[in-house]
Chains A and B, each alone.
Chain A
Amino acid sequence: MAHHRHRERTKTKHALLLRCLCALVGLSFGLAAGLYFSNPLVEAVNAMQGGGAGPLAKNAPLPPMGAPLQERVAAVGRMDDDALIGLLSAMQDEWTRSGGTPEAEFRTMLNLRILFSRWTDLKGLKALKGALGLKDPRLMEMALEAAMTEWGLRDMLAASQSLTLIPGTLSRQRAMTALVRAGVRRSPVQGLAITGKMGPDAALLLRRTAGAEWMSRDATHALRFLTQEPGMNGTLPAGWALGQWLLEDPAGFMAWRKKDPAAANSMPRMRFPEDTISPGRLTRLHAELAKEFGTLDGGAAWLLKASGAPNLYPLQLKAPLAAAQAEMDAWGNTPAPDSKPEVSLNWLIYTSHARAVRMLALQLAESDPAAALKWLASLPAKEEPELLAPAVALKWLAQAPASAPGRIVSSDSANPVMKAAAGVAARSLVQADPLKSLESVATLSLDEKAAESLKAAAFSELASRSPATLLDWITAHPNSPVPAAATAAAVKALARTDLPRALQWVQQKAAPAEKAGLMASVFETMLRNDRDAALEYLKSLPAGKEREAAMLVQLNADIEIAQTDTFFAANLLPDCFEHALQLSADEERLKALRRVIQCMKQMRVPEEKMLSHPNLRAADRTALLKNS
């Protein structure tokens, strides 16, 4: 029995062991198979999240709202939509704080790319809307570019269907080109194919962008695909794409040219999109052409042949002065233009030439404004180079604010170019230091008219900027004629700030002929500042021209006041009549009396009593009665 029980127990033990074994086998096989064949249940730990321990670990909490921006950007892989919106706002604040400087632009764009990489992983459309919600237009454009690049790498079709949400032609174009580039990176053929559906208006732009992106990977194939369309529908985008690629990666282009000479020799005319030309790219293109062809001239010759265009000003392959001279030589050899520019082709050639001359002159002025002016002065009169002289002179003045004005002004004033430049330089001299410019007029080789005009400008500037200095200068230079208007303006301006000094100057230093007029100017200010004191002063003045000039000022001021109010008119106008009667000059007196009577009529103040005033002279009465 015991033996039987023992056997039963052993059997049970074995059965249990067997079951454990079966469970273990099942578990092992399940685990092994699962590791190889199962679909993961847990979302991948993104490289951006890092993994492992520390703040970048996938379960680490998000940095708080006030954390440094870079810390928040580093945690972008763990963020959801809401957190990403917050981060975008933080980026906008940072951008505003930095003032949108070029240095800030690099870092901001980098951060935007990181942010939108995560956001478009989650939801592309929401990411796009987030970018569109930005207030700053430059930041919004950058965000749109970043969003479209990242979304295009993930789902170009969906991204292309949302382009209509973007308002603004230029913003949309920038977003479209970013999207096309990203799409071509994923799949060149699909990327190129989808350009046709994105916007018929920008088809050429998109095809050339796609082509340039594709060419950086496989130019021969890209060229073949682009030129599938017959005629200019194929060759134009291909030509633009080739030019864009050359600008973006000249070394890559040259390598392809050597690797596939057959394709390179049969390529369509190259064209250079203006939106891809930048100082950095041009500098690199120049270096690459010089390296490839020995000299820049050799490179330029190849480029001209490849583009089929006689001039490529935007690329500026020659030194500015050489380019300018080459343009004039080429223009001299152009057979087409007649002497008279008329509509159609001739006019087109003339306008192109004019634009080229303008651009070359300004470019030359950037590096050597003196040479630019000299070159302009050497051009034939029919080119009308004097029209460009002011712009060139301004560039020179900006580069050498102290020495340029003198050099320009003292140059050959007979040449219309130099004359036009001298006008600008003279203004600059006066603006910088009117007193100094007055003193330097004699040393400059100016013709009489130009010297007078420079002096007049200097006097006028000095009168408004430093009236006391001008008045001192006039005292010190009694033989130098100064425009009366400038002296009057200076006296008036000085009276406003230092009345006694102005009064003293007029009484003691002013030229006798101008004294009365200047006194009137000072009295006007006195009257405005303190009427009672002014009237007291008037009483103290001895009879004479100055007194009468002051009286006239008072009369005019009183009439002005009377005209605004009937009450004032009734009191003031009879007094005005009394004052007018005191004027000694017949013409002035009659004029003043007429004005008073006219004003009385206007303000309905009875004037009959005035006309029978005992002091009114018979001749004046007759004239006034005749008028009324």
Chain B
Amino acid sequence: MPLPQPGGIVNLLLVFLFGGGGWILAAYLKTAPVRHPEKESIAAGVPRNEPGIFAADALHILAADKAEAKEFDDLLARYGSGTSDLQLLAVAVMEKWTASDAAGALSAGLPRCKDHAPGALPRVMALLGSRPEIPVTSLMAALPSEPLRRECLSALGEASGRASKSDALAQTGALTPGERTLFVREWHRGRAAGDLPAAQKSAAALTDSDDRPAARLGCLLARAVTEPEAVLRESANREDFPQIAETAFHRWLARDSGAAWNFAASLKDDLRVTDIAKAIVKAEMERRNLSETMPELTTLLGRLFPASYPAELTGMMIPALAAERGENAQKFIEQQAGSPDIRRHAGVAVLFDTLCAIDPPAAWRLAEFCVQAEGAKDGRASHQWISAMKRDLATPQQRLEAGFPDFTDMSNLAQHWLKVDPPAAITAFCSRGVDPVLQRMVIETALSTSGANIPAEELLEWAKKQPAQIHDAIKARTGK
């Protein structure tokens, strides 16, 4: 057989060489499959579990000039009714829809939001309320029922005030007195944000004796944002001063924190010093982590309250600190108490309540700490309250004086713990050395319809695999 000629080999080589080159070129030209579908792809059937699809949909909606029912329905098909993803995107769709076709958004968009994204309704009401072509009457008629109604009404009031829809104030006939006050206040608040003299003129022109103060409060709240210092000084005698102070400090701190802090520091002997301190602490807590802002806050509060902080203030700060880190809250109480023994400070009751909700095992340890210290009395299995209502309304100081922690505190802990981790709660309460009254209480709470409402059979089923002590205790209480 003749050997292949050199020319043939060269040809073959050429085929392979160019073939390889073609392959590489093709690979270069070919892009990876697009993970995020193109814009046109907001369509039913595309699964929402695809990474990046939400972002692609959001960008598409944000880039579009208009939106309509189709976009909403496509989103609904992809994300499902009632989901938070749908709610976020629905607001974006409604923004575009309202801008391009407000009447359509009202007639077709609003009912869709009501049915599938109710959380977006206040925002949608505000969007529609700000459009001049949409009469307030039609929006009032479309207001949802309670408990969402007030939130929507408030948003609608502010938006129509911003849009200077004076006729809105005449449309409040069908509202209850409380709703009417809310609407008038928010309308004037919105109006004052754009044109304060006009809002003040409108407030002065109101004839209803309840509308007028509500309108004035709305104007004050709007002014509190722009000229906080003047508003705080002139409203010091008002009963709603705390609300005004909160509004004022919320924006003031973000804009010019130095001036806000100096103002607060200058009010050392003012009658409203506690309200001011509460407002500033609340605004700071919303702005920054409390543990971060503590050094500055401590300096300010130390100047305002040289002896000790008011109970309302500690009642605000302890839960926030505990939510960040339990130890921070404990340290704060130690500073307030002036010693590491926090058991005689009312803040310990506040800390306990907070821990019950966010970290029940830590609350259990705190209760143990309170009763195990030298000289402490263990009152966890009894209580001194003669009325449940009084106990429910008692202040931390009153609870401390009545003996903290007591049976009610432990019962609250049991209820919270049983909601998040029933096995752990029952195991802790039924462990060796715990008072039988508390053991009985936790099992009764687990079974009671006012408590965790766990069926007896299910509790027994679980108890079978537990130590004999727990099993016996549960068996004794269930009678099975």
Contacts and interface: CB of A to CB of B under 8 A. Distances in A.
Contacts of A30: 18-26
B313 interface: no
A231 B465 CA distance: 10
Interface in A152-167: 153-154, 167
A344 B440 contact: yes
Interface stretch (B140-148, B164-172, B368-376): B140-148
B16 interface: yes
Contacts of B287: 96, 135-137
Interface in A534-568: none
A88 to B, nearest CB: 15
Nearest to A357: B389
Contacts of A74: 59, 62-63
A23 interface: yes
Contacts of B450: 311, 348-349, 352
Contacts of A279: 147-148, 151
A170 B323 contact: yes
Given A38-B23, A232-B458, A233-B423, A25 B15 contact: yes
Nearest to B251: A99
B107 interface: no
Contacts of A120: 51
Nearest to B47: A185
Interface in B412-471: 420-424, 437, 440-441, 444-445, 448-451, 453-455, 458-462, 464
Contact of A343 (B19, B148, B285, B437): B437
A382 to B, nearest CB: 8
B419 to A, nearest CB: 8
Contacts of A349: 448, 450
Interface string B35-53: 1111101000000111110
B173 interface: no
B237 interface: yes
Given A22-B12, A38-B26, A280 B420 contact: no
Nearest to B446: A232
A121 interface: yes
Contacts of B381: 343
Interface residues of B, number: 137
Contacts of B455: 232, 235, 269, 308
A409 B261 CA distance: 40
Interface centre among A42, A269, A348 (most CB of B within 10 A): A348
Contacts of B26: 30-35, 38
Interface string B386-417: 11111111000000000000011001000000
A179 to B, nearest CB: 14
B218 interface: no
A44 B121 contact: no
A47 interface: yes
Nearest to B94: A106
A19 B11 contact: yes
B254 A99 contact: yes
Contact of B239 (A154, A282, A344, A432): A432
Nearest to A277: B147
B331 to A, nearest CB: 15
B251 to A, nearest CB: 6
Contacts of B453: 269, 271, 307-309
A45 B149 CA distance: 45
A353 B254 CA distance: 43
A186 B49 contact: yes
A43 B35 CA distance: 11
Contacts of A113: 54-55, 58, 88
A48 B36 contact: yes
B408 A27 contact: no
B2 interface: no
Contacts of B55: 48, 76, 113-114, 117-118, 150
A484 interface: no
Among A41, A107, A349, A401, the one with the most B-chain Cβ atoms within 10 Å of its Cβ is A401
A70 B63 CA distance: 9
B18 A403 contact: no
B30 A232 contact: no
A399 B177 contact: yes
Contacts of B420: 201-202, 204-205
A611 B232 CA distance: 57
A98 to B, nearest CB: 9
B109 interface: no
Contacts of A403: 209-210
A391 B434 CA distance: 38
A443 B144 CA distance: 41
A525 interface: no
Interface in A543-600: none
Given A205-B420, A383-B389, A35 B454 contact: no
A530 interface: no
A27 B19 contact: yes
Interface stretch (A248-256, A445-453, A469-477): A248-256
A383 B390 CA distance: 10
B358 A343 contact: no
B51 A249 contact: no
B118 to A, nearest CB: 3
A232 B456 CA distance: 10
A121 to B, nearest CB: 7
B28 A42 contact: yes
A355 to B, nearest CB: 6
A618 interface: no
Contacts of A22: 11-12, 14-15, 18
A479 interface: no
Interface in B290-326: 292, 323-326
B33 interface: yes
A40 B52 contact: no
Nearest to B459: A232
Given A27-B22, A31-B23, A283-B147, 6 more contacts: A26-B14, A42-B32, A169-B326, A279-B148, A358-B393, A388-B393
8 contacts: A43-B32, A48-B59, A118-B55, A136-B288, A235-B458, A284-B82, A343-B407, A354-B388
Q: Nearest 8 CB-CB pairs, A to B?
A: A30-B22, A34-B26, A231-B461, A26-B18, A280-B118, A117-B55, A47-B36, A44-B32
Interface of B: 7, 10-12, 14-39, 41, 48-52, 54-56, 58-59, 62-63, 80-83, 88-89, 91-92, 114-115, 117-123, 126, 144-151, 176-178, 181-182, 209-210, 212-214, 217, 237-240, 250-251, 254, 285-289, 292, 323-326, 358-359, 361, 381-383, 386-393, 407-408, 411, 420-424, 437, 440-441, 444-445, 448-451, 453-455, 458-462, 464
